[in-house]
A and B are shown apart, each in its own frame.
Chain A
């Protein structure tokens, strides 16, 4: 996903002289293609995230389109006041890019895990929050971020994510993609958790349970219509995200469902209000903290057992 983003970034830099690429001293070897096509518009500010975001804002005020890149918690949490004031409150056309969503930095530990970045960005007025589900969508999301006038946070995984989305899915900010349209339960996921959501839907299908599978490449603005329609049809919703269950995608879904009057059952799957202190790879941690496909399928079955209309055979 990271490499896909950098392909898109180089393309944008070649096509538009307003595009700048900034980093807080991260991304070894990744910026060279951009530098080659956009000389003088690549800047490593050093290990200084507040300056990274502040300089990006200054460039944006001058009419540039800066992409400010770092590991997700550093660009969203470490520099949050600059994101809040210089970018969001001022309405700056800055594209914040966080690599390493959720626990994708695995063994490097909780300082490098992004379990609160969605919460920290979606709470800011005017911020658009994008979380692509596979590498090809990361490229599409980067181009959409560029085309959108205003603050964007682009949440990326790392590398090696499988291709899960059809090319025809396209990418429109604020629009979820319905990948399956089963009538029994809705599985709604964002970002890299699409892998686990897809695995869960496969497991359920093997048992004769047909899931609607909704992928949200955008967390904010939230596609309330898509979720409410699916919830009304299935009566049960499981949200899946590589993020804390507090304040993130599942919280956004809960807000929408609670106010919709649909009355669907809801279960949020994500890090259960804990840092991932256990040591291990991304996949190990996803399993250890209950986000893996089988756990998501279990959550779906649990909702169906509570559902007054669900008939077990």
Chain B
């Protein structure tokens, strides 16, 4: 079993892959990926039980680079190939993930699809008597999609025990702050009203994430993870434009300055 320091090291390494890939490709959505690196690191390093058949579906597909990075850290993908092949002509790793890529369980990019698909997987597990968990991550902006709530309602009603929904609540969406565009707070209350178990955690606290992601439950659980968009890069943290901004090689120091600080703090 790895230690807390190991987790910090893993998350830091995954962030570096996200940033290297962003820098090499000049692509956007950096902030969206950085807000979920800690979540995915804890999920893949601690929560997913390979022997039980647990799986993860990334519904907010624009954070694909975080998924590729964590898959590289767990040995499913090759780190150098991810950096060289992300959002590049002739590359392997598109800006939104597709199921034909090893380790990718959901073709995503059009928002609001993941919960229903995850529900289908969880229902298959229950019918087959498998004790597997299906984790699905959505963005808080993605919750605007009506299809999310169709599936949330049905999941609460059918209550398959293996379904886990993680909300990356970074507080931003396409054209502004979630609270200004379409506030859905209090989020936890909404999921409870649909019959879900709810936990709210600091989405960058590894200990809190490990506890919330691994907690046993006999019905669907929504984990509302409060995160910082662009986490780890001071120039992007909590910045609306971290969704759109891209960087050139000469701006490398701007991207990596914060990471070196994180590593020293650890």
Enumerate chain A interface residues (CB-CB to B < 8 A). 40-41, 43, 45-46, 48, 50-51, 53-64, 66, 81-82, 84-86, 89-91
Contact = CB atoms under 8 A, between A and B. Distances in A.
Interface stretch (B119-127, B178-186, B239-247): B119-127
Interface string B102-120: 0001111110110111111
B121 A91 contact: no
Contacts of B105: 61
A54 B107 contact: no
**Most B-side CB within 10 Å, residue of A54, A63, A82:** A54
A51 B147 contact: yes
A143 B82 CA distance: 42
Instruction: Give the secondary structure class of A's interface.
Output: helix
Given A48-B154, A58-B124, 10 more contacts: A43-B123, A46-B154, A48-B150, A50-B147, A58-B117, A58-B118, A63-B124, A81-B110, A81-B113, A82-B147
Contact of A40 (B108, B118, B127): B127
Contacts, number: 93
A86 B124 contact: no
A111 B147 CA distance: 20
Interface in B78-116: 98-100, 105-110, 112-113, 115-116
Contacts of A41: 127
Contacts of A59: 120-121, 123-124
B101 to A, nearest CB: 11
A84 B108 CA distance: 11
Interface residues of B, number: 30
B117 A54 contact: yes
The 4 closest A-B pairs by CB, nearest first: A58-B120, A54-B116, A62-B124, A55-B120
6 contacts: A48-B154, A50-B112, A50-B151, A55-B116, A59-B120, A61-B99
Contacts of B119: 51, 54-55, 58
**Most B-side CB within 10 Å, residue of A40, A45, A56, A58:** A58
Nearest to B104: A90
B40 to A, nearest CB: 20
B123 A82 contact: no
Given A51-B151, A54-B113, A90 B121 contact: no
B127 A61 contact: no
Contacts of A48: 150-151, 153-154
Nearest to B118: A58
A84 B128 CA distance: 28
A40 B126 CA distance: 10
A50 B119 CA distance: 12
Nearest to A85: B110
Contacts of B128: 62
**Most B-side CB within 10 Å, residue of A43, A59, A85:** A85
A50 to B, nearest CB: 4
Nearest to B121: A58
Contact of B124 (A64, A81, A91): A64
A50 B150 contact: yes
B145 to A, nearest CB: 9
A82 B121 contact: no
Given A50-B116, A50-B147, A90-B99, A58 B123 contact: yes
Given A61-B117, A81-B110, A54 B124 contact: no
A83 to B, nearest CB: 11
B107 A86 contact: yes
A85 B124 contact: no
A48 B153 CA distance: 10
Contacts of A50: 112, 116, 146-147, 150-151
B107 to A, nearest CB: 4
B78 to A, nearest CB: 23
Nearest to B127: A40
Contacts of A89: 98, 107
